Amino acid sequence: MIRANDLILRTTTILIAFILFGFSIYLFLAGHSAPGGGFIGGLMTAAAIVLMYMAYGYEAMKKIIPVNYQNLITIGLAIAVLTSIGSFVFGEPFLSQTFEYFHLPVLGEKELATALLFDLGVYLTVIGVTMTIILSIASDR
């Protein structure tokens, strides 16, 4: 079989993967007061990675993103459990959360909540699970 020429797909992927990563980060951070959150943000990041896999192939992507996605599941679950246990330090029940208003340099007065740290765990776990499923099916011969 002659080698296929994927020039248009690859050039488009370079542009669109950036937009997808930006949109996923936006969804992840917007989850507190708008539609979004860790789950859909993680799914969008996984969609961007899958798009890059489709354009560039398995071996090239293993060099570009040298991440073991099974480890990502472990790290995400550990972050979720540790932030939940962290409420014991302050003498509060499991999974308690709090928020505080900070004055950030560029963004101004913002509310930072500890729920974002739990959401980070959800985000990493969703990326890990999705990529593990897709790559296990794709590399099945």
Partner 1 sequence: MNNISEITHQLLIITTDICIAVISISIIMLLYRVIKGPTNPDRAVALDAIGINLMALVGLVAVLLVTTQLNDVILLTGILLFIGTIAIAKFLEKGVIIDRELD
Distance of alpha carbon 90 from alpha carbon 20, whole angstroms: 38
Spatial CA neighbour of 28 closest among 54, 48, 13: 48
- Cβ of residue 35: shortest distance to partner 1, in angstroms? 5
CB of 37 to partner 1, least distance (A): 11
- Least distance (Å) from partner 1 to the CB of residue 126? 15
The residue (of 52 and 120) whose beta carbon lies closer to partner 1 is 52
Nearer Cβ to partner 1 (113/138): 138
**CA–CA gap between residue 55 and residue 40 (Å, rounded):** 23
- Would you tell me which residues interact with partner 1 (CB under 8 A)? 3-4, 9, 16, 20, 23, 27, 34-36, 40, 44, 47, 50-51, 53-54, 57-60, 134-135, 138-139, 141
In the complex, the smallest distance separating the C-beta of residue 69 from partner 1, rounded to whole angstroms, is 14
The residue among 23 and 87 lying less far from partner 1, judged by its C-beta, is 23
The DSSP annotation for 55-108 comes to HH-HHHHHHHS---HHHHHHHHHHHHHHHHHGGGTTT--TT---EEEEEETTTE
